[in-house]
Amino acid sequence: MNQNTSFHQPVFFENIHELLRIQPGQIVVDGTCGEGGHAALLAPCVLPDGKYIAIDRDGQILEKAKNRLMHYSHIDWFNENYSSIQEILARLEIQQIDRMIVDLGLSMFHLRIMERGFSFLSEEELDMRFNPADSPLSAFDVIHYFSESEISDILYSFGEEKMARRIAKKIVDKRGEKPIKTCRDLAKLIASVKGFSKGSHPATQSFQALRIYVNAELHHLNLLLSQSHLIFSKGALMAFITYHSIEDRIVKRFAIESPFFYMREKKPLTPSQEEISRNPAVRSAKLRVLVRS
Ligand SMILES: C[S@@+](CC[C@H](N)C(=O)[O-])C[C@H]1O[C@@H](n2cnc3c(N)ncnc32)[C@H](O)[C@@H]1O
């Protein structure tokens, strides 16, 4: 199956169709529609009488998906948080769904095109919010108004950054001299503490931590999981694509502890070497499929 390379390249594109086995007539929720890469593949599978519910917290990116898939009248669009799924279904008068896909994290669109300060290589102002209307604090606010220990806790808890304390101290020292305005300023400062080594940029974990914090990403994931037993039909499938171990642990623990779900395969699916060489951004992706018992 060919992908349109002018859009975000969805991970597990080849596997997802086979794993979810979507049937005509089913109700499928795409909790993180993004530019509609997975939607372009999955939405037609429910035709002629099923429904595809496309949600994204970021209205700008959802517009791109809408333009791309406007020829499908069976897609309902929601610029909302996937954690509002029960309210969304109530509005549609739908009691139960058959499939849900949640592809966490951010899209290449956020890194390359948007001016919301997600990329450490950019001169954009530090922001990192998917939707400023539903997230009161930007990354700039956290960096400038939080205490040294609060910053250190965020970097450690959400980025597993081992040098969190030293980075937080440097941030607090530097912000006293002049504001740390752009992504590149912050990335340089972090690199000056950690130095460069082989592999990812030294600011990767800190940027991930700030993004997770300002968007309350783990809160929304937990909120979705806590209500999921109410919205799935028996045998329904919920697929999670995660990009770091914190998210994957939450999904895995939920599947182990929940009396309502089990993991279809014990081990998560990881991208093939071929997929990683085509799209290195997906190297840490994991796919888990949960079944409603
Ligand atoms: C990895 S991208 C999804 C890419 C998409 N599957 C595709 O094929 O194009 C993740 C998307 O999730 C959205 N997002 C992140 N957290 C969200 C949340 N809590 N609720 C709804 N959308 C969210 C982001 O705005 C982003 O567009």
Q: Which domains does the chain have, with CATH numbers?
A: 13-109+217-292 (3.40.50.150), 136-214 (1.10.150.170)
Instruction: Supply the DSSP symbol for 83.
Output: G
Which one-letter amino acid corresponds to residue 291?
V
Cis peptide leading into residue 259 (ω within 30°) = no
* Ligand 1 close to Cβ of residue 69 (< 6 A): no
Q: Which atom of ligand 1 is nearest to the CA of 56?
A: 22
* Ligand 1 close to Cβ of residue 82 (< 6 A): yes
Stated pTM of the model: 0.95
148-159 and 164-177 helices, crossing angle to 10° = 140
* Ligand 1 close to Cβ of residue 275 (< 6 A): no
Q: Which atom of ligand 1 is nearest to the CA of 62?
A: 27
Residue 158 phi/psi, 5° resolution? -105, -5
The protein residue with its alpha carbon nearest to ligand 1, atom 4, reads 34
Helix (H, G, I), strand (E, B) or coil at 81: coil
89: Cβ contacts below 8 Å, ≥ 6 apart: 53, 95, 97, 231
* Ligand 1 close to Cβ of residue 29 (< 6 A): no
| CA 97 from centre of chain | 21
| In the chain, alpha helices (H) | 13-20, 37-42, 59-68, 85-91, 108-112, 139-145, 148-159, 164-177, 183-194, 204-214, 217-227, 245-257, 273-278
pLDDT in tens, the chain (293 residues): 545 556 778 899 878 989 999 999 999 999 999 999 999 999 999 999 999 999 999 999 999 999 999 999 999 999 999 999 999 999 999 999 999 999 998 988 888 777 788 988 889 999 999 999 999 999 999 999 999 999 999 999 999 999 999 999 999 999 999 999 999 999 999 999 999 888 889 999 999 999 999 999 999 999 999 999 999 999 999 999 999 999 999 999 999 999 999 999 999 999 999 989 988 888 999 999 999 99
